Structure 1
Amino acid sequence: MAFIIIFIIVLIFFIRIFNIKLLEPAGIYTFLWIFFIIGSLLFLKSEYVFLYYGINWILITCFMSIIIAAIFKSRLSINNVITSTRHYVAIPWKLLALFIVLGLCSVGYTMIKMGANLSIFSDFTSLQTTAHMSAVNRYSETNESVSFIGQILGSFVYIAPICSGYSYLYAKSNYEKLLCLGSILPSLLSMLLTSAKLSLIAFVLLFFIGFYISYIYKNGKIPNLKFRTVLAILALICVFYGLIYLSFVLRIGKENNLLKIILDKLMIYTFGHVQGFDIWFTDNALKIEKYGIWKNTFLSISSKLGLAERNQGVYLFIPGVCTNVYTQFRGLIEDLGPFFSLIILFLMFIFVYSIFSKLVLTKKCYVLKQTILAACLFWLFYFIISAWTYTTYILTFLVFGVFLYISFYINFVWRRI
């Protein structure tokens, strides 16, 4: 454990030396994993075993991201504001509203499948019973696969936030700002109805990434982290965990020592993936006999082509692990091995910073590059599993690219409501 602490201190030292900003890609990636690692050691070490090999592997990826960021510093001055005029962006607001409505239709479709109606949201007991049963069915062997219509509608739960995050900076009226913020409704209602926290976590990441890409393109720099912004972020974190707590109440139902049970689960849901990956990596990473060659990273595609089998929950629990969540890195390592995976991540960081620097320094709109950068950042920040395990996320970025193309190149007479 002492080595881990030293490694983290060295990472922070390099961040200071190379003047890596907190809100540039390497800064976000590194501090996100430092937060997860320190949190897992603080809150889970007393109950669960850590072997540290997997944690060291993750910290190596953080070090690589810092090195790449430092190399690109010679080409990129992140503090400089680009004052030249950028390509005009005209957000199709009615199309964005349609995305949100379709996301709400996904919630309605789920309610119909469950035999529920809108009155359930006004009755906490009924909502709790429905959410609990949904959680039980979700992990049962008899759980039905999602229909094609369900997948298409479900993708708009995630399409709406990334498009709304991108559009927020271009909102000129209170209605347009509220429309962007209203993209949380499908995710929130889905979480309340099914007690599944994934939709809320995805909303936060997608809205942030959409906003982040938009800010970089519009302003030619990364967002400034002011004191007021920090306070707002802390307040939003409190709201986020309040909603997660509520989802646990709905899922667990009435139990003795409910508060302790939920707090323990919160720690596992927040930090358990680090312990899970650490144990899995130590026991399995060097013992893989046959590599998947992208089958696990892109499981949504390989499973549909019959090249791989996707089980409910994807991964099973293994002895000594507090969760069946093993980060996005497990699939990559199962596909390519621990050493070649590092090379791929190194190249991915180069690719991300190459696009990042072009968005900062040039006036071109780069619709395709913005879309690819958003997809890469989502994979890097989506700490649960490879994002491309789910078809809905692939559809999300395909539609996001179309949304950007319309915003930059197609003139609709009904762009503004």
Structure 2
Amino acid sequence: MNSTTRIKLSFMMFLEFFIWGTWFVTLGTFLATNLGASGPETGSVFSTQSWGAIIAPFIIGLIADRYFNAEKILGVLHIVGAILMYQMYNATDISVFYPYALGYMIVYMPTLALVNSVSFNQMEDPEKEFSTIRIWGTLGWIAAGLLISYFFHWDSQESTTAGLLKNTFLMAGIASLVLGLFSFILPKTPPKVSKDEKVTVSDILGLDALKLLKDRNFLIFFVSSILICIPLAFYYQNANLFLSKIGVDNPTGKMTIGQASEVIFLLFIPIFFKKFGFKKTILVGMLAWAVRYILFAYGNAGELSFMLLIGIALHGICYDFFFVSGQIYTNSKAGEKFKSSAQGLITLATYGIGMLIGFMVAGQITEMYKVGGEENWKMIWIIPAGIAFVVFILFALLFNDKTKSETEI
């Protein structure tokens, strides 16, 4: 890969995740303070991510893979996204905001696969080259949080009260427009499937990989993946609002510690796999969710603030040790024929079904433990900690990785 192409792909990946990190992290705080949204209403807005994840395969499978270059579709989707983001910036009521958020997630979620397609198309050895491009996405997410907290101060209590948090949508919209226009000068990535070739719904959604569920261990992993997304949804939906309400300074900037740890712990996965095997690695990830929420439940913005920072820093273990190791495990079980469809099935199960259920549960629990407009944060965090611990116990008891193929991934 020449240096010009590398720079283009890195900038593309940086903006892709800069956009998401700019508005999604502070979304829960914005909905509660600017639009006065209830817990269930907030859960509904967050669940637009899940609907986007469910619909995305159809956009990729029926359009991107068959008729148009991936970089051109990426450009069009981000330009449309910029328009929708501007409408979200102008919305003053949750009923007006929701349809724009839904529309935005439907056009944004397919771009996550498109940036990967554009990148892979330029690589001779993706296993070695992709990580050096993908890391710019994490850096983009971190940059967004640092700008919001330490440069613009939009998430300070004074700015939040003044309604300045809505500027995150304007910044995301501008970045989306820039990426949309930039996409048209990205390396050409033509369709991979002939427009005359028949593609079924089963192909698009990866349903052929359902055959893997006949394997008892994979079935247990599959169900566990859905269940662990319930506590995960609590973090996405409530973490920024929680930190803001209890008086933590620069909460969005501090949450970037989670992305930094994600980069670090990603390096430890091969070591854990080699020494402890898949089951113990994924169990550490599950247990980390429970520990993180206990730290949130009993920490505070004063002398126990270190508990909150540790909880944020655990994001690397929570995400990498479960989701990344799970993707590797899925790849090892699928075989050549079902590799792509198996990954699609797991994505549908986690970001689609699992997160959809999770945001609904998180919204209801948050509303249930709200008295006089104030959340009982201890209970709001203890409940997902309990769910994560139950999933941990069930997986530990039911999953058997004694076979050579599962211990030597």
Q: What interval of TM-score do these two structures reach, taking the shorter chain for normalisation?
A: under 0.3
Please give the TM-score of this superposition, normalised by the length of structure 1: 0.27
Higher helix share: 2
Please give the TM-score of this superposition, normalised by the length of structure 2: 0.27
